[in-house]
């Protein structure tokens, strides 16, 4: 179910936290290739997973291989079109400007995120590209789901790289 309007606030929170768990599992897959552990999935209007992705920049050498972009590409392929109207993107880290732009351009309805990114976040932290009045499409943003767990995965990754 992607439309959670009939659920109580506690039920909505539990719903998105369950999906964030799936995104966290996907994020951990990035560790196998030394990529930053960010995972994403796209849910269609009925709440079915139609796209998943994790960071693959190191694995592929592709600077655009962010989890969100890969999940949206898979979702567009599954739908047979680029428009992801009515879909929800669940991601473990607040999207960067590139990914926020892709959310707007693909017409994603809702973004559910784990950890906020106070250095490069573009959906409410540093910038808010997805709700800018000049954008062609506005994305609903719900944040802070399993934020501690999402943030800890990233901190552990960067601490291991530094030490």
The annotation status of 96 as a binding-site residue, yes or no, is yes
Which of 25, 62, 36, 59 is closest to 161 using CA atoms?
Answer: 36
DSSP 51: E
pLDDT at 142: 97
Is 1 a domain residue? no
Which residue segment(s) compose the domain that 31 sits in?
9-160
The annotation status of 66 as a binding-site residue, yes or no, is yes
pLDDT at 136: 84
Give the angle subtended at the CA of 38 by the CAs of 147 and 105, to the nearest 5°.
100
Q: Where are the beta strands (DSSP E) in 6-163?
A: 39-43, 49-54, 88-93, 110-115, 140-142
pLDDT at 160: 93
Is 39 a domain residue? yes
Strands 140-142 and 88-93, by their bridges, are unpaired
Is 4 a domain residue? no
CATH number at 32 reads: 3.40.140.10
pLDDT at 43: 98
pLDDT at 163: 80
Per-residue pLDDT in tens (0 to 9) along the chain, 163 residues: 567 878 889 999 999 999 999 999 999 999 999 999 999 999 999 999 999 999 999 999 999 999 999 999 999 999 999 999 999 999 999 999 999 999 999 999 999 999 999 999 999 999 999 999 898 889 999 999 999 999 999 999 999 999 8
Is 93 a domain residue? yes
CA distance 50 to 71: 8
Token pair 């709700």 in the structure block, residue: 131
Which of 109, 113, 158, 161 is closest to 138 using CA atoms?
Answer: 109
Catalytic one among 45, 68, 138, 149? 68
Catalytic residue flag (residue 68): yes
Q: What's the pTM value of the predicted model, to 2 decimals?
A: 0.95
Overall domain count for the chain = 1
pLDDT at 46: 95
Handedness of CA 114, 106, 78, 37 (dihedral sign): negative
CA distance 26 to 155: 17
């Amino acid at each position: 179910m992607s439309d959670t309007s009939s659920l109580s606030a506690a039920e909505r929170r539990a719903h998105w936290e369950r999906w964030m768990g799936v995104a966290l599992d996907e994020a951990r897959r990035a560790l196998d290739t030394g990529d930053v552990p960010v995972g994403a999935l796209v849910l269609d209007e009925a709440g079915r997973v139609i796209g998943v992705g994790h960071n693959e920049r190191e694995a592929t050498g592709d600077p655009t291989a962010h989890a969100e972009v890969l999940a949206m590409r898979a979702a567009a392929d599954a739908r047979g079109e680029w428009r992801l109207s009515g879909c929800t993107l669940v991601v473990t880290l607040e999207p960067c400007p590139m990914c926020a732009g892709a959310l707007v351009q693909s017409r994603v309805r809702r973004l559910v995120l784990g950890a906020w990114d106070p250095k490069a976040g573009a959906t409410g932290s540093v910038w808010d590209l997805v709700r800018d009045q000049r954008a062609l499409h506005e994305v609903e943003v719900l944040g802070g789901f399993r934020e501690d767990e999402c943030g800890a995965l990233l901190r552990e990754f960067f601490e291991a790289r530094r030490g």
